[in-house]
Amino acid sequence: MTRITPTRTLSLLLGTAMLTLAATAPARAVKPFSADYTASYMGMQGTGKMTIAPAGANRWKYSLNIRSNVAQLSQSTTFEDKGGQYRPLSSTDSSLLLIKKSNKTATYDWAKGEARWSGDVKAERAGPVKLQAGDMDALLVNMAIARDAAAGKPMNYRMVDDGRAKQLAWQVAGTETLTIGGASKQATKVSRTDGDKQTVVWVVEGLPVPARILQRKDGRDEIDLKIASLK
């Protein structure tokens, strides 16, 4: 698997994009959302926040921000809800790891049917990548997983992100009880394995994004994002 930046790793749990049965996917209206998370990155503790906010004209902005003593990671995607499908329009991805900075911008031009990337990207990752109906970026996969796992739908997607298109599939791995704001919630556990990397996502009915995201490499935890409270 091609090496992924820490910020993209978070979203690939975050990671995918076109429903194989998109026509049967449940239409669930997008609503404003905000939640605080606890974050662990390579054993270092930090805080995180996920928000979904209106951006005008049936557009929304989904943001993920994480801070710790050694890292600052920030992602946001502006998208539109097209009959229950989340279609990306633009995104930003920035990270600061100790003194190393990275900033990237993606543009999804649906009129031209292509996606391009600029900023701190390699030439081979600048695009263009041809878009297909149903394509999402990595962040929007979070919302698709939360929607489809709760509805018992297949979780097969095509992700167009980080200068490439990739088919990804997630599988239900059981259920588990999570504590959110002092209350116990039943969560569906979903996982995906790619070589030496595994991503596990917990989704709770009624939440538009995952309640927990865990990424492992070689069997060891790298990133763990857990919901702490809802706003």
pLDDT digit string (tens) for 57-111? Answer: 889 999 999 988 877 889 999 999 988 889 999 999 998 876 788 899 999 999 9
Is residue 123 domain-resident? yes
pLDDT of residue 27: 53
CA–CA separation, 124 vs 10, rounded Å? 22
Number of domains in the chain: 1
- Reply yes or no on whether the pLDDT at 24 is more than 80: no
Question: Is 4 strand, coil or helix?
Answer: coil
Is residue 174 domain-resident? yes
Question: Is 128 strand, coil or helix?
Answer: coil
The pTM score is 0.83
18 confidence band (pLDDT: 50, 70, 90): very low
Name the nearest CA neighbour of 94 among 86, 107, 80, 106.
106
CA–CA separation, 186 vs 170, rounded Å? 19
User: Residue 202: which domain range?
Assistant: 6-230
Sign of CA dihedral 10, 202, 132, 91: negative
Inter-residue contact 131 to 18 (CB < 8 Å)? no
Name the nearest CA neighbour of 65 among 80, 53, 79, 57.
53
Is residue 1 domain-resident? no
* Mean of pLDDT over the chain: 86
Is residue 15 domain-resident? yes
CATH at residue 27: 2.50.20
Is residue 53 domain-resident? yes
126 confidence band (pLDDT: 50, 70, 90): very high
DSSP for 143-154?
HHHHHHHHHT--
